[in-house]
């Protein structure tokens, strides 16, 4: 049985917070060559995750499209971080 969208979104948020390195310092984020601003991407994704978490805590029920959209955004941010050598492709297995 598939989870409802509220459970799916909660699980997605937990997985993204586990895989994406939100705790990196500005020095770590901004060293070396940069292909897209990792700092801004992390701030944006953190804001999205926080807003969805609050929405769910208040009893909101996201639509399937909302879950898919957040998954796409998270994947794009992860790929940008990967290009900037801030994550490795094997991190997704954790």
**Does some domain include residue 19?**
no
**Does some domain include residue 92?**
no
pLDDT for the residue 90:
53
**Does some domain include residue 27?**
no
Q: Along the chain (94 residues), what's the average pLDDT of each consecutive run of 10 residues? A: 91 95 81 78 96 97 96 94 78 46
- Rounded CA separation 26/16 (Å): 20
pLDDT for the residue 91:
46
**Does some domain include residue 26?**
no
Q: Which domain holds residue 62?
A: 1-13+38-85
Look up the pTM and report it: 0.84
**Does some domain include residue 69?**
yes
pLDDT for the residue 92:
47
Question: How far is it between the farthest Cα atoms of the chain?
Answer: 46
Number of domains in the chain: 1
């Amino acid at each position: 049985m598939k989870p409802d969208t509220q459970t799916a979104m909660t699980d997605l948020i937990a997985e993204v917070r586990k895989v994406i390195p939100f705790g990196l310092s500005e020095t770590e984020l901004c060293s070396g060559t940069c292909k897209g601003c990792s700092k801004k991407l992390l701030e944006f994704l953190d804001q999205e995750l926080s807003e969805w978490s609050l929405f769910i805590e208040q009893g909101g029920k996201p639509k399937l499209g909302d879950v898919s959209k957040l998954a796409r955004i998270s994947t794009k941010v992860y790929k940008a971080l990967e290009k900037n050598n801030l994550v490795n492709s094997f991190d997704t297995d954790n």
